[in-house]
Amino acid sequence: MSVCGYRTKKGTPCQRATQEGGERCYAHEGLGGTSPTKDQRRFLDIWNACRRLKQAVRLLGDSAPRKARRLKARGFEVKPLK
């Protein structure tokens, strides 16, 4: 018996038992060698936040009809003001 050892979100190794050494448990079997480190996850969170901010700024810079079309294309419900 061996343990999975895949790094969890907390950074601790997974303790689930496996049949052979080097194998992953059922929860981690399709994943690569190691999970992203805390710094890598933080970088990706910041990267995605910047992308969302750029999209929001782009939408705010549009004229009202163009903004409405873009929002409809993204699946938002746009109602005219009364």
Polymer length of the chain: 82
Identify the DSSP state of 63: -
Given pLDDT bands bounded at 50, 70 and 90, which one contains residue 81? low
Residue 82 pLDDT exceeds 60 = no
Distance CA 50, CA 53 (A): 5
Distance CA 50, CA 78 (A): 25
Distance CA 79, CA 33 (A): 49
Residues in contact with 39: Cβ distance below 8 Å, sequence separation at least 6, in sequence order: none
pTM above 0.75, yes or no: no
pLDDT digits (tens, 9 = 90+) for 26-73: 888 777 666 666 777 788 788 888 888 777 777 666 667 777 787 788
